[in-house]
Amino acid sequence: MQKLEYPRAALSLASLMLPLALGSCTVMVDTNSPDAYPGYTGAYAGFSLVLDERFDSFNEAIWAKGDGAVGTESMCRFQDRAVQIKDGSLELLVDEQHVPKGWSEDHQKTKEAYDYVCGEVRTRPELRLRYGRIETRMQAPDRHAASGYISSLFTYVNESSDRDVRRWEEIDIELEGGRPDKFQANLIYGLDTISWGETRRFGAWEDKIDIGPVDRWRVYAIEWLPARISWFVDGQLVKTLTADDIDCDPMCIAPQLEPTPIPHQLTDVMMNFWIPNDDIQDVFGGNKHANRYPMRARYDWLRIYQYDAEPLKNWATLAKQQAAKHP
């Protein structure tokens, strides 16, 4: 795969969409698109832009900050002070700062003390989505000062709907300090569990894909449809999972024991940055021996597109506000 690197440029504050005829269809070209990669249009047939987030400020109408931790795998506690807006980017920090034992609203229980803080944001509950395209321009920390971490963009829900079982549905883009030239594309699915190990009965759909330096600005995207999920880096398709790939027909793919569906619940969009504990660091995240704190994962912008065949009704007001920037 070609390994492309692109310089950072000035960003505009709002988008203006104009029609462009492509063959027999018409799509909308974004004439005020953010800095991305050569050939980026910000336009995708069958999708409509509903959020154009440039991170000029922290918009509490869209985003909430995390206060929990990533299971027992993490050595840090998510804290407000590890989420910052700086120079038009969202920065999530990991730093060596003590966090006393205390209550977590996210986990609805008391968390033990931690010696490190880290950052997490998610869309607010009223802005959950199902299907669509999510893309961000993202930069992991410098490999020479960060050898063990996980930074991410992902969808996540693990709860039950009315009269239904609890479903863990997650689609991931993950960058790791131990693999500074790769990214991990994941689908995780489970029933009635909060244990990652128990999700293996529905398959291990992780791929570590060589894309070149992740500590440079890159554009990552997830395209989630009812029958497939696709992952893109700098506009290049790097992985697709279809419903037929994971349905155990004609047979399951080890360690899969049961058919796995494409996720279909309303879900949060999340970004977090954290460090693994000593037990897992050599398998996931990377050994932390070269970490120099504070470390920062940076997000230049984030865009969410609805899948037009299944419009996001709860996003309608926000989409109108976006369009009103350039009537």
Residue 70: strand, helix, or coil: coil
The number of residues making up the chain comes to: 327
How large is the C-alpha radius of gyration of the chain? 19
The answer to whether the CB of 265 falls within 8 A of the CB of 169 is yes
Average pLDDT value for residue range 79-106:
97
- Joined together, the tokens standing for residue 33 give 């698109």
Distance CA 88, CA 101 (A): 33
Task: For 238-288, write each residue's pLDDT tens digit.
Answer: 999 999 999 999 999 999 999 999 999 999 999 999 999 999 999 999 999
**Cis bond upstream, residue 250 (ω within 30):** yes
| Record: fold of 57-308 | Jelly Rolls (2.60.120)
Distance CA 68, CA 82 (A): 12
The pTM assigned to this predicted structure is 0.88
Average pLDDT value for residue range 52-65:
96
Domain ranges of the chain: 57-308
Distance CA 41, CA 13 (A): 16
Residue 216, pLDDT above cutoff 90: yes
Neighbours of 68 (CB within 10 A): 17
Distance CA 314, CA 129 (A): 8
pLDDT top residue among 192 and 205: 205
Element (H or E) spanning 322, and its range?
helix 316-324
The answer to whether the CB of 255 falls within 8 A of the CB of 118 is no
Task: For 142-156, write each residue's pLDDT tens digit.
Answer: 999 999 999 999 999
Residue 205: strand, helix, or coil: coil
Nearest residue to 214 (alpha-carbon basis) of 154, 296, 142: 142
Nearest-5° Cα angle at 128, 71 to 227: 90
Task: For 72-87, write each residue's pLDDT tens digit.
Answer: 899 999 999 999 999 9
Neighbours of 20 (CB within 10 A): 13
Task: For 291-323, write each residue's pLDDT tens digit.
Answer: 999 999 999 999 999 999 999 988 877 766 766
